[in-house]
Each structure stands twice: as C-alpha cells, then as structure tokens.
Amino acid sequence: MITLGSWLRQAEARLRRGGRDAPRLSAELLAAHALNVPRTARFTQDDRTLAPPEHNCLEAALARRLDGEPLAYILRARAFYGRDFRITPDTLIPRAETEHLVEAALACPDRPLHFADLGTGSGCIAVTLAAERPLWRGVAVDCSPGALRVARTNARAHHVASRLLLVRADMCRPLFRPGSLDLVVSNPPYVSLPEYRELAPEVRREPQEALTPLTQNPASPHGLECLEAVIRQAAVALAPGGRICLEHGSAQARAVSMCFFNNNWSDVRVVQDLAGHDRITTASRSQNAQAQPCGGKGTL
C-alpha cells in the first residue's frame, strides 16, 4: 500500500530522471486527473492510502508521460487565455505565444464584426475571440474532422456555439465572398521540413499537418506556403480596412511583412512574444483595395 504523498514524491523523482519538464507540477496534475481530486491534494490528502485500482491508474498515466506523450494529451485539457480547453491528439496543443495572436485580434473595435479563424484546431482562438467579444460572429475552418469535433465541444463548453460556424475545408483554397469579413486570424502550419525534423520527439507527437505545410517543395522548403495562402485568402475576404493577424516563426517576420508591403497592405506591425521573438504580424487591407477572387469565387 502507498499513500498519495509517497506516490507523488516517487513520480516527481521518476519524471526528473526521465528528463520531463516540470516534474513536480506534472506529477500533481497527473494525480489530480487520474483521481479526480484538486491539485492541492498534495497538501490536503498527503496521507491518503491509494486503493490498488487508484494506484494502477496513476501508474498508467505516469508511464504515458515517461514515454513522452504530451501532458496535455494525457489530461485531455489545456489552459488558454484564462479558459480550459479540451485537447486531443487530433489537435495542436495551444501555446502561450498564441495568446499574443488573440490580444492582437482583440485590439479591433468592440463592435459587431465577422471574423474567420483559418486552421482552428481545438478552436481555442475562435472560441476565445467569441467569448471575449459577444458582438462578434466567426467562421472556424479546419481540414481535420477530428479537430472540428474538439472545436465544437469547446465552443459549446464556453457558450459561443451559436456565434461560430465550424467548416471543414482547406484554408488554402478560396472560401469567402469578396469583402465578407472584417477580421482574419490564423496560426497556420509554418514549420519548415528541416525544422520539423529537428523538433523534440514530444512535439512531433502533435499532428504534423498542424505544424508544417504538407505542400512544401522538398528542394526548397521554407514553411511559408500556408502563411502566403492565408494572406491571399484575406486579400479577397476582407473588406477595405479589415484586419489580419498572423502567427509565424520568429525568423519569418521579414518575409511575411514583405508579402504585405508588396501587395498594398497598410499598417503592417510585428508583435514580439514574451521571449522577445517576432511572433505575430498584423496588417490592414487598404481602403482603396479591390478584392479579387484568388483562383475561385469563394462560397462563405
């Protein structure tokens, strides 16, 4: 027989030896999830004797973490912008850097507007925007049916499902009628193939199609393909004066900015993350811009 406190101490030591991040916090979160107790159980239930089924459940969760499975997939949840979101292996795990994308989008006027989230994944961006701005209505696009199921669950959990349309589609193809949107946000796949091969094994457990453009030219991969496609999509979909907010790699800010400058966008701004890396670029559709379909008419 073993107490909860003893298991937590042993789990923390095993996670540390295994090279896992934040071993103490991870052990507490695994216990809270597996036993359905608060994280503070470390202090309030330290002497609790674990029944054999409880111990087995804890050991199974710990084994998954030691094997390199991301903690968010084991817990099936991740906090983002002050809210809890359901997460599964069908979705990218939300990261703190993406909260800067939300902040950039929320700088738009608090009035009724229509937005699109291209490559929505878990829906954390679209759901957060709708929850923070009750006057906004949005379209959340993803090509993964599994991701859209998760996004739909999150939209319902945060009571914004009536103001979000979830669409299964390729965000790189024409989708929207010219001038039909006021805001486009996207955290598209932007990791180049060489960079992807250098990612930590744990990160490569996340869906590759959410990390790296699968249409990259192997001879000259640069990861910009989806970013450029989103900009083309926004050039059609945004009404004059509409805003786009893009997340990208820290080394891609110059290329993204030049794409905007070379195509008659205005008010181009680069936002750094907390680590000081160029992470978000925003721009406005010029007031005199004439929206032209990019290879198709668009349907939404």
Instruction: Specify whether 34 is located in the same domain as 100.
Output: no
Measure the CA–CA gap between 296 and 176, rounded to whole angstroms: 9
In this predicted model, what pLDDT tens digit does every residue of 171-203 receive, in sequence order?
A: 988 899 999 999 999 999 999 999 999 999 999
Note whether residue 83 is domain-resident: no
Greater confidence (237 vs 1) lies with 237
Measure the CA–CA gap between 150 and 239, rounded to whole angstroms: 30
Note whether residue 81 is domain-resident: no
Instruction: Specify whether 39 is located in the same domain as 128.
Output: no
Instruction: Specify whether 93 is located in the same domain as 161.
Output: yes
Instruction: Specify whether 158 is located in the same domain as 36.
Output: no
Note whether residue 60 is domain-resident: yes
Range of the domain at 197: 88-285
Note whether residue 47 is domain-resident: yes
Note whether residue 80 is domain-resident: no
pTM of the model: 0.92
Phi, psi of 122 (to 5 degrees): -70, -10
Instruction: Specify whether 224 is located in the same domain as 139.
Output: yes
pLDDT, residue 258, reads 94
pLDDT, residue 288, reads 63
Residue 243 CB burial class (10 angstroms; 0-12, 13-18, ≥19): buried
Note whether residue 291 is domain-resident: no
**What three-state secondary structure class fits 266?**
strand
Instruction: Specify whether 56 is located in the same domain as 22.
Output: yes
Instruction: Specify whether 176 is located in the same domain as 41.
Output: no
Beta bridge partners of 271: 280
In this predicted model, what pLDDT tens digit does every residue of 28-84 receive, in sequence order?
A: 999 999 999 888 877 788 899 999 999 999 999 999 999 999 999 999 999 999 999
Query: What mean pLDDT value characterizes the chain?
Result: 92
Instruction: Specify whether 119 is located in the same domain as 53.
Output: no
Note whether residue 246 is domain-resident: yes
Instruction: Specify whether 59 is located in the same domain as 122.
Output: no
pLDDT, residue 289, reads 52
Measure the CA–CA gap between 220 and 192, rounded to whole angstroms: 9
pLDDT, residue 45, reads 86
Instruction: Specify whether 93 is located in the same domain as 32.
Output: no
**What three-state secondary structure class fits 80?**
strand
pLDDT, residue 298, reads 46
The residue to which tokens 């896992």 are assigned: 20
Instruction: Specify whether 229 is located in the same domain as 94.
Output: yes
Asked if the model's pLDDT at residue 241 lies above 50, the reply is yes
**What three-state secondary structure class fits 138?**
strand
What number is the average pLDDT over the span 133-140? Answer: 98
Note whether residue 160 is domain-resident: yes
CATH label of the domain that carries residue 187 = 3.40.50.150
Instruction: Specify whether 182 is located in the same domain as 140.
Output: yes
Which of these, 181, 188, 184, 185, lies nearest to 291 by C-alpha position? Answer: 181
- Structural domain count of the chain: 2
